[in-house]
Chain A
Amino acid sequence: MNPDDLLYASSHEWVRRGDPATIGITHFAQDQLGDVVYVELPVVGAVLSAGEIFGNVESVKTASDLYAPVSGTVVETNTQLVESPELLNTSPYDKGWLIKVKLDNEEDLGNLLDRAAYETNVAH
């Protein structure tokens, strides 16, 4: 279910390595939220700090903050989510990506979990 090539935060965001890195939320997160109706994302150029809130996802039943898994600068946001927020439910690892970030420090990635560690985390 969760791709092997991603890194995960215990707060249920994923990071795809690259320059820039891509950030989204996990299948588990979208399943807990239910039908997503609105995604509030930072603007291009915004500076993120690991562990800080960078946006918000509204589903029918709840609102949930998004936490930056890494520090860096936002270089692109997924504009398709404005019209189609449900992409977070139907395609959390692909079409439902949130933002692309130029990392301040590659070493941030070392603080994240691999798939197995994340899944263990979710199970407990």
Chain B
Amino acid sequence: MGAVVPCHSASVFCMCWRVESLSIDNTAEITLRHTPLFSEHQRLKARLAPFGEWEKPIDYGSIIEEHNATRRKAGLFDLSHMGEFIVSGPQALELISVLLTNDPRVLNPGQGQYALMCRDDGTIVDDVIVYKLPGQGPTPYLLVVNAGNMDKDWQWVQQVCAKEGLAGDSTVENRSDQTALIAVQGPLAEEIVATSAEESLANVTPFSIREAAIRGIPCMIARTGYTGEDGFEIFVSAERALDLWTIIHGIGGPSGLRPVGLGARDTLRLEARLPLYGNDIDDTTTPLEAGLGRWVKLDKPRFCGKEAIETQKREGIRRTLVGLKMTDRSVPRAHYPVLSPVGAEIGIVTSGSFSPTLGYGIALAYVPPAYAEVGSAVQVDIRSHPHPALVVKTPFYRRRKATTI
């Protein structure tokens, strides 16, 4: 067999690996960026790999064990590569309303929402979470963007500012280098983070954010995540990131909290059908094609991409993102062709993996609407052999909500 190296071909954010049949490349001289937790990942003997311009943990031994720990107990993630833009000043709301497909005008201080940032033609620049930061008066907005899109996002924001006659420099600030992000996800997340913060988090509702001090470390705790589990994403200064990680790991470790790398982050988010930018959505796809129409508010007076998305809604989409379940033991991967039952190429897999929770291969794929109905039989071309698959309902996995006694 050959060496396994990360795939660089499709995009910087492609979460697939390709197999290099030549010898292993130890000569990577390009300087990869490291988060403030890099020394901790080395101490934990993480398997490291390039991820865009970052060197990040893929796993700390076993993707399946880390996946299951997050589903059953809790996982600890270093997401410090993510980008954080602060949008403030009198024009802040006007700017993000134009930038985002969702409606940030409804956000009260301490609330957030998922949104897409689209171009005028409706294609997706990035998917983001926007928070109106807690506090009195006109609080700033925090825009959390994908690491691999940060430069592109920044340029797009500045371009929109210029077009709208807004003062880009005074309105938007890139705080990514100063900000670390640590996530705790899973059924034990609330208990672990509440114990760490020494306060109840019961009223930190999904997508809300609050200021806190965890053993004296100032941070912002948001109830969000990318795993399909309950959980928190904690923003902290880069200088205090290692202290915060160590405190939370120490408190949660005895009850089963374990560090989780990007490998399990990908299988967790795929089971929950959370799109990955660069795979399932990108510069060529639209929110309607990706099934993200819920987060597009066409009743908002205007935003970038509104007319194009309205037109697409009226005329209909030509491809749609569906969930596939392999009915044999094969494993679908990004870029594999999707075939009709008679073998005609009809679409493409954008994300695929063995599902640790379900025990079979699952995928997200673009297919024509005629094949999108749940129960439709299709095939996935795996190394030139067709393998049977069914279109299934997504998310593939939905957590059981806590039951009240």
Q: How far is the CA of A121 from the CA of B62 in the complex (A)?
A: 25
List residues of A (26-53) whose CB comes within 8 Å of B's CBs. Answer: 29, 32-35, 37-38
Q: How far is the CA of A37 from the CA of B328 in the complex (A)?
A: 13
Whether a CB of chain A sits under 8 angstroms from the CB of B58 is: yes
List residues of B (49-92) whose CB comes within 8 Å of A's CBs. Answer: 58-59, 62-64, 67
Say which residue of A12, A25, A29, A35 sits within 8 Å of B63 (CB atoms): A35
Nearest-Cβ distance from residue B48 to partner chain A, whole angstroms:
13
Q: How far is the CA of A56 from the CA of B19 in the complex (A)?
A: 11
Say which residue of B23, B62, B267 sits within 8 Å of A124 (CB atoms): B23
Whether a CB of chain B sits under 8 angstroms from the CB of A93 is: no
Tell me whether A34 and B63 are in contact in the complex, defined as CB-CB below 8 angstroms, given that A60-B356, A64-B4 are known contacts: yes
List residues of B (303-352) whose CB comes within 8 Å of A's CBs. Answer: 329-331, 333
Tell me whether A32 and B4 are in contact in the complex, defined as CB-CB below 8 angstroms, given that A37-B354, A63-B19, A63-B333 are known contacts: yes
Interface string of A3-31 (1 = CB under 8 A from B): 00000001111000000000001000100
Contacting pair B330 A38 (CB below 8 A)? yes
Contacting pair A62 B17 (CB below 8 A)? yes
Tell me whether A38 and B331 are in contact in the complex, defined as CB-CB below 8 angstroms, given that A60-B267, A62-B17 are known contacts: yes
Query: A12's closest neighbor in chain B, by CB?
Result: B1
Whether a CB of chain B sits under 8 angstroms from the CB of A97 is: no
Nearest-Cβ distance from residue A19 to partner chain B, whole angstroms:
25
Residues of B within 8 A of A57 (CB): 1
Whether a CB of chain A sits under 8 angstroms from the CB of B98 is: no
Nearest-Cβ distance from residue A10 to partner chain B, whole angstroms:
7
Whether a CB of chain B sits under 8 angstroms from the CB of A117 is: no
Contacting pair B62 A11 (CB below 8 A)? no
Say which residue of B17, B24, B329 sits within 8 Å of A61 (CB atoms): B17
Q: How far is the CA of A65 from the CA of B1 in the complex (A)?
A: 5
Q: How far is the CA of A62 from the CA of B336 in the complex (A)?
A: 13
Residues of B within 8 A of A64 (CB): 1-2, 4, 19
Residues of A within 8 A of B267 (CB): 60
Query: B333's closest neighbor in chain A, by CB?
Result: A63
Nearest-Cβ distance from residue B27 to partner chain A, whole angstroms:
10
Say which residue of B3, B62, B354, B356 sits within 8 Å of A58 (CB atoms): B354
Q: How far is the CA of A61 from the CA of B63 in the complex (A)?
A: 8
List residues of B (257-281) whose CB comes within 8 Å of A's CBs. Answer: 263, 266-267
Residues of A within 8 A of B382 (CB): 63
- Which residues from chain B sit less than 8 Å from chain A, CB to CB? 1-4, 16-19, 21, 23-24, 26, 47, 58-59, 62-64, 67, 263, 266-267, 329-331, 333, 353-354, 356, 382-383
Closest 7 CB pairs of A and B: A62-B17, A37-B354, A64-B1, A58-B331, A60-B63, A35-B64, A32-B4
Can you list 28 A-B pairs with a CB-CB distance of less than 8 A?
A10-B23, A12-B1, A12-B2, A25-B1, A33-B4, A34-B58, A35-B63, A37-B331, A38-B329, A38-B330, A58-B330, A58-B354, A59-B354, A60-B64, A60-B67, A61-B17, A61-B63, A61-B263, A62-B4, A62-B333, A63-B19, A63-B333, A63-B383, A64-B4, A65-B1, A67-B1, A122-B24, A124-B23
Q: A61-B16, A63-B382 are in contact. List 12 more A-B contacts (CB 8 A).
A: A11-B2, A12-B2, A12-B3, A25-B1, A33-B1, A35-B64, A37-B354, A57-B1, A60-B63, A60-B67, A65-B1, A124-B23
